[in-house]
Amino acid sequence: MSNEIVKQKTFEEKMKERIKDSIGELMSNEDLSKIVERAVEEIFFEPIIIKGSYCHGDKTEPPFIHSIIKEILTEQVKHEIREYIGLHGEEIEKIIKEVVVNGIGNCVIGAFNNNFQNSFINFQQDIIQKIQNSTY
């Protein structure tokens, strides 16, 4: 029995072997390596463009690698978030309260300013119109 360590092949190496088996000796190893590298780059890392119809333009989606990473890491990220919230609950609650209070206050002030701004614009227009009508 041999105790030699068997090196795992990379995805690119596996692809290269399959293509080499299918095509035979038509391509050199260098050409085959370039094709495999380009294919991997294109498939995994370039944005996906979905052709649109006459009425709708083309749609661009993130590269395939994004969906793979999202699928793999979603549960880990959820776990880390739960753990962080568990350890920092009081801090997070304080920040949420501040955002809610300030957010509501800013909304009320914004609505108040908006309401008065419209009234002042109307008042200004009325004055301008009365001045113009009285001069002629």
Domain of 61 in residue numbering reads as 48-87
Residue labelled with tokens 């109307």: 122
Domain identity same for 40 and 19? yes
- Residue 2 counted as domain residue: no
Interacting residues of 93 by C-beta distance below 8 A, sequence separation 6+: none
- Angle between the N-to-C axes of helices 64-87 and 89-135, in degrees from 0 to 180, rounded to the nearest 10: 110
Domain count of the chain?
3
Indicate whether 63 and 97 sit together in one domain. Answer: no
Q: Determine the Cα–Cα distance for residues 108 and 115; give it in Å rounded to an integer.
A: 11
Instruction: Tell if the pTM clears 0.75, that is, is over it.
Output: no
**Residue pLDDT, tens place only, 52-107:** 877 788 888 888 888 888 888 898 999 998 999 899 989 988 888 888 877 777 87
Say whether both 134 and 95 belong to one domain. yes
